[in-house]
Amino acid sequence: MIINQYRKTLLPSGIKVVSETIPYVKSFSLGFWFNVGSRDENLKNNGITHFIEHMLFKGTKKRSPKKIAEDIEGYGGYLNAFTSKEHTCYYGRGLSQHIGRTFDVLADMIQEPAFKPSEIKKEAGVIVDELYDIEDDPEELIFDKFEECLFGGNSLGMPVIGSEKNIKSFNQSDLFDFIGQKYGFNTLTIAASGAVEHEELLRLTEKYITRDLGKKKIGRKSVKPKVLNELTVEKDIQQVHAILGTDTYGYKDKKRAIVNVLSHILGEGSSSRLFQTVREKNGICYQLNSFLNSFYDVSSFGVYFSTNDKLFEKSISLIQKEFKKLRDKKVSDKELKKAKEYLKGSMLLSLESLTQRMSRMAQSEIYFNRIETVEETIKDIDSVTAEQVLDEANLVLDEKALSKVIIRANNC
């Protein structure tokens, strides 16, 4: 099946294989994507998806942790992984002649993890250190706290890394049980971009995916409308960090493009309204930006900033004034066009990266069961009108409907 420059095959097993051949490059980016993340956990096992991601690098039945690394790095390649709230991806980059080697290593990792108790114990310590790093970084911690407030009562509100108690409690049986429940043929998408041939990917899949992973049940609870929340966390820090925000449309809703444009106008980039007003004109808030963090059915949207305690209230006041301006008056054609061009430019520039191309392709397949073309995305951005931006501003920038999360110094 050919979709523009993309090719897709749904194998009888349920595995999806998607590819994009780029003839002018000499390398590839290959990803094994599982449609499972922290959203598929509960309070008792929160953090286990991320823990498994770490553990798959800690040895298989035939490869030691060192062997996994050497089999890729010894040939000029790169291997990594990440866990999000809705996905887990194991991916590698390398020169085109080594794609079979990278495929073999990734396939071995997902099918035959050793999960040795000694390695589990050691890695728990590493992940707890990672948790402490997050706790020590208010710029990162505040987004976990914000989504905890926003999506409270739903697994989407839980942090990807989990809790220290859970991290220290996971054992070999827990990890094998979770993989058995979630890692299936129907939850796996294999995606590759670059110097790749689709038929070769199909051959490699047949050769190296030899274990019957079966088909797994996929089901996630939808997010209920939030209750307005306000949370203050005290830490041993110098600055005050804050987020004002709300929930809005997810990837499945075309209206998300409107909020994306609004977010850029409001606070993305040095020419945005908030940057110009709060930082350039008033000289406060070194860190200041709006954001749109999206999932399939919902997004978190808001403004993040940090400043000293004496200027906190002034910062809030300035930000709220910009909210009101966007609620009261349509943006100009010039400002709207600038925002659209920025968004289109950012997307197109990101596609200079093979890994970004591979990721975009895989996520499109997982979310929409098809590959959304670049032209479609550009069309969605171009279709946004000033009237739509005004309407959405009145929904998502209404101070009465915004949740607030603040991290400030213990002595404030």
Query: Domains, the chain, ranges and CATH?
Result: 2-208 (3.30.830.10), 230-409 (3.30.830.10)
Which candidate, 218, 213, 217, places its Cα nearest to that of 13? 213
pLDDT at 152: 87
407 touches 145 (CB < 8 A): yes
Handedness of CA 295, 301, 303, 305 (dihedral sign): negative
Which candidate, 116, 110, 64, places its Cα nearest to that of 88? 110
Residue 278 has pLDDT above 70, yes or no: yes
Kindly report, residue by residue over 210-252, the tens digit of the pLDDT: 999 999 988 888 888 667 789 999 999 999 999 999 999 999 9
Which two three-digit tokens encode residue 89? Answer: 């991806």
**Average pLDDT, stretch 97-123?**
98
Task: Flag whether the pTM goes above 0.85.
Answer: yes
**Average pLDDT, stretch 319-328?**
98
249 touches 259 (CB < 8 A): yes
